[in-house]
Amino acid sequence: MKRLYYHKTRNDVVGFKLKVKQRLENLPDKKVIRVLDAFAGEHKIWNEIIKLKPEIEFKIVYLEKIKGLHEDNVEGVNLYYLQRNDLSQFDVIDLDHYSFAYEQLVEIFEQNYKGTVFFTFIQAGLGSLNKSMLNYLFGSPEISNKCRTMYSKDGFEIALKFFWKKGIKEVNYQKLNTVGSRKYYGHFTTK
């Protein structure tokens, strides 16, 4: 598992550049920025940002469930951390997940978080979507069980409906087409 994770993040050069650029252009206008990186990996994205923005002091909590990727990681399940900590202490929450961090987003919305959230939405293969998200949007477990791939062509549109229903009226994103998957890198700010 560790090797597979390393391989996927290491080879995504175009996506990496997009993610760094997106964060650099959408940081809060502050001298000290508090960040919760919920899928920290080896800290590549935020290390690059720290290097490019030396005038900003970054205070970052790095969460990662895979052991041994970086000595500064808080190792464990990020959802557990999100549910047990006050998220208002962070200016930025980064959910760069190799899929879509639906459960983590739900927790962020339940805490009525105010700040900037960066997210990744990746849909590969048949593109089945999260059953809990489909239940939430369409109100029927029967439909979500039968139709997880029904929305495979419009998976990101379903994610946008989720954001809309949670009160997020503006989501900024970029799409990256790759062989076998569709990747969206986005962010929104709640006030």
User: Using one digit for the tens of pLDDT, what is the confidence trace for 133-142?
Assistant: 888 888 877 7
191 close to 167: Cβ distance less than 8 angstroms? no
pLDDT at position 29: 96
User: Using one digit for the tens of pLDDT, what is the confidence trace for 106-143?
Assistant: 999 999 999 999 999 988 766 678 788 888 888 877 76
Query: What CA–CA distance (Å, rounded) separates 114 from 108?
Result: 9
Closest of 119, 177, 182 to residue 152, by C-alpha: 182
Each domain of the chain, given as residue ranges in start order, spans: 2-128+156-190
pLDDT at position 10: 42
Mean pLDDT of the chain: 87
Lowest mean pLDDT among 45-54, 55-64, 148-157, 165-174: 148-157
pLDDT at position 151: 63
Lowest mean pLDDT among 24-28, 69-73, 186-190: 69-73
User: Using one digit for the tens of pLDDT, what is the confidence trace for 77-94?
Assistant: 999 999 999 999 999 999
161 close to 168: Cβ distance less than 8 angstroms? no
Strands 92-95 and 181-190: unpaired
Helix (H) or strand (E) run with residue 150 in it: none
Closest of 37, 35, 31, 24 to residue 56, by C-alpha: 31
Query: What CA–CA distance (Å, rounded) separates 120 from 51?
Result: 22
The strand order across the sheet containing 32-37 reads 74-75, 57-64, 32-37, 92-95, 115-124, 181-190, 172-178
Amino acid of residue 55: E
User: Using one digit for the tens of pLDDT, what is the confidence trace for 149-185?
Assistant: 566 667 899 899 999 999 999 999 999 877 777 899 9
pLDDT at position 147: 63
CATH code of 2-128+156-190, in short, is 3.40.50.150
Closest of 113, 98, 90, 120 to residue 27, by C-alpha: 90
Closest of 76, 19, 22, 77 to residue 43, by C-alpha: 19
pLDDT at position 145: 67
Verdict on whether the full-model pTM lies above 0.85: yes
